[in-house]
Amino acid sequence: MATSEEQPPTTQPFTLEDPLDLIRLSLDERIYVKLRNNRELRGRLHAYDQHLNMILGDVEEVRTQIEVDEETMEEIFKTQKRNFPMLYVRGDGIILMSPPEKPTY
Amino acid sequence: MTGEPFDFKSLDPEGLTSVVILVEFVDKKVLTLLRDGTIYIGFLRTFDQYGTIILHKTIERIYINEEYGEIPLGVFLIRSENIVLIGEIDSENEYPQKLTLIPKDEILRKRAELREGTDNFITDD
Amino acid sequence: MPLFHTFFKTLVGKEMTIELKNNLLIHGTLISVDQFLNIKLDKISVPDPDKYPQFLSIKNCFVRGSVIRYIHLPPSEVDPTSLQEATRKEAMQSKMQQ
């Protein structure tokens, strides 16, 4: 028999039924979260609920502002960063979330 | 009121409703901040399960730079979705010490000027 | 079921900073929390008291849950592992109820 991935004894059946299941897979992983008002977070997901309230650890927040140079009409992107060891984020500010863009492996 | 204060927490030990939090403010003088920045100060008389409140002997306090003013308003019902926070007034620090209290008409005039911006900057001087 | 309600109850008596959607920061000690994650804080302070004279008159306050953007938590009071376990448990429970 050709070698393929071994099926470990399953304690939790892997069924992907709703989007929240996908989030469950990200627990204890670093994730990227896009928020309203041009804010982005990168941190380790420790908890979430059905409202997408979350607790993230080791978080970096990036705020982006676009300024237009009046003379050249050039768009200048300015960012501000903040770091938090542990952060509760209210779900109603969240637009999207996904694994971080730059994998750590 | 005499005797021991009523143990409100016993009404709802699990903290499953807002009752435990807001009931402690009833009949106290509170400062309410609304989403649009308005500040109302009055006695919280009642509230409902949504956090909608009724204030009694309400005043609106307007802060502009080093001055502030108060507009007496009476009885107010404030819909909960507009409320940002409700704070219990500390009777010792009720009036801002570093600021000057000015009459109602003056503060209203100053606020109207601020809101207009520099659009109607036509003076006779 | 109310994961975050239970979690915040474990933080009663601890200090934290609430960041509101209007960018206001309020630091204080957690007194109570309800199922809507409305929060009551004691011994409050704001970072720039002269800019916000309103806060000089109040020592404790109720903050509506819906106006909160973040809560900056003391990391020493949070155990990530038990949080993750509790989250998995609640996720499984709500699946079974569907």
What single string gives the DSSP state of each residue in A19-84? Answer: HHHHHHHTTTSEEEEEETTTEEEEEEEEEE-TT--EEEEEEEEEEEEEEE-TTT--EEEEEEEEEE
Q: What are the Cα distances from residue C48, in Å, to A3, C53, C56, C81? A: 64, 9, 11, 36
Q: Is A38 left (phi over 0), alpha (psi -120 to 50) or beta?
A: left
One-letter identity of residue A6: E
pLDDT in tens, B20-57: 688 889 999 999 999 999 999 999 999 988 889 999 99
Q: Confidence class of residue B123 from pLDDT cuts 50, 70 and 90?
A: very low
Q: Where are the domains of chain B?
A: 8-121
Cβ-Cβ contacts under 8 Å, C35 against chain B: 15-17
Q: What is the dihedral of CA C24, C27, C29, C32, to 10 degrees?
A: 10
Residues in a beta bridge with C28: C16
What whole-number distance in Å separates Cα of residue A91 and Cα of residue A100?
A: 19
Main-chain phi, psi angles of A89, to 5 degrees:
-120, 130
Residue C58 to residue B20, Cβ atoms within 8 A: no
Nearest CB to A47; choose among C3, C37, C65:
C3
For residue B117, give how far its alpha carbon lies from the nearest alpha carbon of chain C (Å): 21
One-letter identity of residue B52: T
Residue scoring higher pLDDT (A48 or C53): A48
One-letter identity of residue A87: L
For residue A47, give how far its alpha carbon lies from the nearest alpha carbon of chain C (Å): 6
Length of chain A: 105
Nearest chain B residue to C24 by CA distance is B84
User: How do B67-78 and B100-101 pair as beta strands?
Assistant: parallel
Residue scoring higher pLDDT (B1 or C34): C34
pLDDT in tens, C15-63: 999 999 999 999 999 999 998 999 999 988 888 777 788 888 898 999 9
What tokens does A72 get?
Answer: 């050249």
Cβ-Cβ contacts under 8 Å, C64 against chain B: 51, 80, 83-85
Its pTM stands at 0.83
Q: Confidence class of residue B122 from pLDDT cuts 50, 70 and 90?
A: very low
Interface of C with B (CB under 8 A): 5, 9, 20, 22, 24, 26, 32-36, 38, 40, 44, 50, 53-64, 66-67
Residue scoring higher pLDDT (B98 or A55): A55
The CATH architecture of the domain made up of B8-121 is: Roll (2.30)
Give the mean model confidence (pLDDT) for residues A5-24: 68
Residue B87 to residue C61, Cβ atoms within 8 A: yes
Interface test with C, best of A44, A49, A50, A87 (most C CBs within 10 A): A49
Residue A55 to residue C83, Cβ atoms within 8 A: yes
